[in-house]
Amino acid sequence: MRRAAVIALAALAFALGGCASISYSDAGERHMVDIVNTGWYFLNFIPLASGDPDNPNGCSCKLFRQTTSLENNIKMLDRAIEERGAVDVRNVNSNWTDESILFILLKRHTFQTSAQLIIPTEEDLLCE
């Protein structure tokens, strides 16, 4: 019985999976980035599956590893800055959310970071 419960929880974690994503929003002169990293944990401290910060927006996760951290979100933010050609960021905001499923047996931890990217315009580049 106990072994079946562990297998069922592992199957649920694999089905739900961890997720790491980077999304962008451009509205006029504002360039926003939103980074979300989610992980599933058994009994709140045994990692089952977490998002892969090395492959955000991909169909991959890190099994039995804890990757939901500020350090990993900042690493993904650095990648977003480089990819978008930003020279700076402002209004960086991070928060952590915990959700319990099946009382304390299964928990989902989500770490979210958002920021405004400062991307130089063509006019800015000509002035330099």
Q: Beta-carbon neighbour count of residue 81 at 10 Å?
A: 18
> What backbone phi and psi angles, to 5 degrees, belong to 89?
-135, 155
41 forms beta bridges with: 47, 107
Q: pLDDT value at position 59?
A: 81
Q: In the chain, what are the domain boundaries?
A: 2-127
Q: pLDDT value at position 35?
A: 97
Ranges of the chain whose pLDDT falls below 50: none
**pTM for the predicted model, two decimal places:** 0.80
79 vs 82: CA distance, rounded Å: 5
